[in-house]
Structure 1
Amino acid sequence: MAGFYTQSNKDNKGHLEMSDIYKAPEAQLTEGGESGSYGSLEKGLAGDYSIAIEDTLKEAWNRSKGKKLTIWLALILYFVCYVAITLVASVITGYSAFNFGASANGALTSMFLYQVIVALATAPLIAGLWMVGVKIAREEQTSATEIFSHFDKLLPLAIANILISIFTLVGFFLFVIPGIYLSVAYLLAIPLIADKNMGPWQAMETSRKAITKHWFSFFGFLIVCLLLYFAGALALLIGLIWALPLIAIAIGVVYRNIFGGPED
């Protein structure tokens, strides 16, 4: 009998070992459990995500505690840099909105050069603002100086910024609806370049294809963010102290849930 049980146990053990080869590794199933609903490029492009507006805002509100100053300092730094950039661009190009004496051709040329300089110089700063919210959403270390961390991607960011502006403008001329669609669909292109080292067109198409899977949900989320901004502004602008950090982190949470963490 003892020999029978021993042989039986060996057979059962062998059977279990054979069956276990079809079982997914448990370590992989539990890995990343702390990151919750973090997405990935593959999941984002497949539309394997959802936008729960209430849950997103609740998480963003909780994560904004202790982070409001970081976001506001980043906004102040951006504003100071933007003003400085526009002043330098005006000196270089001679363009001014109040320069009524310039010829039409001269004014158009100056305005074009002015816009190009501003777009080039501010694109990395805008990417930095995006990444402050994204990094807070992912519980990564960040600071207000994050806005200066992406000048190594100046060219792709500037090209994407210009292309998005052109395509969206053309879309608005084409019965408005295409412009609304593209302005929403391209929204995550800039952080994709900063975060995933994508090229301009790749980032634009990745953003468009992923957002299109749940475009109306994303659009509804942006409407809610806009309403929060107006509510904060109507409260003698004091409400913006809470509204702007909430919105920045909420967008970071949505980006994280769609595309996940940075590329290795």
Structure 2
Amino acid sequence: MSDIYKAPESQLAENSEAGDFGSLEKGIAGDYSFSIGEAINEGWQLSKGKKRTVWFAIILYIIAIAATSFVAGLLTGYPAFDLTGPASASLSSTIIYNLITGIVGVPLAVGMMMVGIKIARKEETSGTEVFAHFDKIVPLCVTYIIMSILVGIGFLLLVIPGIYLVIAYMLALPLVADQNLGPWKALEASRKAITNNWFAFLGFFIVLILIYLVGGLALLIGLIWALPLASIAYGVAYRKVFGGPQGS
């Protein structure tokens, strides 16, 4: 008798797992379920056994950012590692330095996001994921620039529009890397999807900040658990809204 019911049970399990994946269309339509508690709890569960992966990515990210800052400093004459130097740096060297570090930093940051997203989707990934998205450096940087401009304008308009956009654009950059959307389509997809559940994502954003802050206590030891948890919880949120190539 057990063989008779084996296939339906397996199918139900697969359907349940698939139901936890959003898609681009469902996300934009608001046809998804998102709970702060569920995202954090699943992030914690999935972080078991994956902390090394996340921390390897973090270490590579830090090394890459430091190396980029060093090289950009040499090229521009900007005193990147001198705490008292930046105030006396020329305007041109400051602009070029920030431009170089920004262009390199965006795909690195997106790589960090994708580590958490892939762990949340139970896909194979490694710390070297931070270097995996330089092929999309142009659309990623354009997306980041447009997002920064719009958020800046929003803060000039009585602050509240800026806060709205900071939350609404939370998932935009991974959409460019993960689902090959253009800059404006990614921004609009993230905005429309999150607007359907904006206050929940505001709460999620605040919880992530609190996790970082609490993790920074006790001589930063708590970050060993806090950073993987926050990274994967973000990935869970993305998966629930937009799924991905395997869940779309």
Asked if TM exceeds 0.5, the reply is: yes
Which of residues 83, 89, 92 in structure 1 aligns to 2:75? Answer: 92
Which segment drifts farther, 82-91 or 130-139?
82-91
Amino acid at match of 1:230: L
Alpha-carbon distance in structure 1 between the residues aligned to 2:160 and 2:76: 35
Residue equivalent to 2:7 = none
Pair 1:66 & 2:52 matched: no
Residue 135 (structure 1) aligned to one of 99, 118, 127: 118
Give, in whole Å, the separation in 2 of the partners of 1:60 and 1:101. Answer: 44
Worse overlay, 233-242 or 159-168:
159-168
- Is 2:25 the counterpart of 1:53? no
Where does 1:154-169 land on structure 2 (aligned, <5 Å)? 154-169=137-152
Judge conservation of contact 1:39–1:259 (CA < 8 Å) in 2. Answer: yes
Q: How many residues align?
A: 234
Could you say which residue in structure 1 is the equivalent of 2:193?
Answer: 210
Q: 1:76 corresponds to which residue?
A: 59
Identical-residue share of aligned pairs (%): 56
2:4 match: none
Amino acid corresponding to residue 57 of structure 1 in structure 2: I
Question: Which one of 156, 174, 177 corresponds to residue 173 of structure 1?
Answer: 156
Cα distance in 2 for partners of 1:132, 1:245 equals: 10
Q: Is the 8 A contact 1:119 1:162 kept in 2?
A: no
Structure showing greater relative contact order (alpha-carbon pairs closer than 8 Å, 6 or more residues apart): 2
Q: Distance in 1 between matches of 2:214 and 2:86?
A: 37
* Offset of residue 185 of structure 1: 1.0
The answer on whether the counterparts of 1:119 and 1:161 sit within 8 Å (CA) in structure 2 is no
Are 2:211 and 1:228 equivalent residues in the alignment? yes
Corresponding residue for residue 119 of structure 1: 102
**RMSD (CA atoms):** 2.1
Cα distance in 2, alignment partners of residues 61 and 231 from structure 1: 15
Q: Give the letter aligned to residue 61 of structure 1.
A: W
Alignment partners' CA distance in 1, 2:86 and 2:17 = 57
Structure 1 length normalisation: TM-score? 0.83
How far the C-alpha of 1:231 sits from its partner, in A, is 1.0
Structure 1 position 50, deviation (Å): 2.6
Shift of 1:101: 5.0
Residue 243 of structure 2: aligned partner: 260
Q: If you compute each CA radius of gyration, which structure gives the higher value, 1 or 2?
A: 1
Match of residue 249 from structure 1 = 232
Q: C-alpha distance in 1, partners of 2:149/2:70?
A: 24
Worse-matched range after superposition: 175-184 or 38-47: 175-184
Residues 56 and 113 (structure 1), Cα distance of their counterparts in 2 relative to 1, 3 Å cut: same
Structure 2 gaps, min length 5: 1-10
Post-superposition CA distance 1:14-36 (Å, at most 9, x none): xxxxxxxxxxxxxx998643334
For residues 195-206 of structure 1, the aligned pairs below 5 Å read 195-206=178-189
How far is 1:68 from its partner? 0.4
- Give deviations 1:24-83, integer Å, cap 9, x for gaps: xxxx99864333411001110011123211111111111001000100110110011001
The runs of 4+ residues in structure 1 deviating greater than 4 Å are 28-32, 99-102
Matches within 5 A, 1:135-154: 135-154=118-137
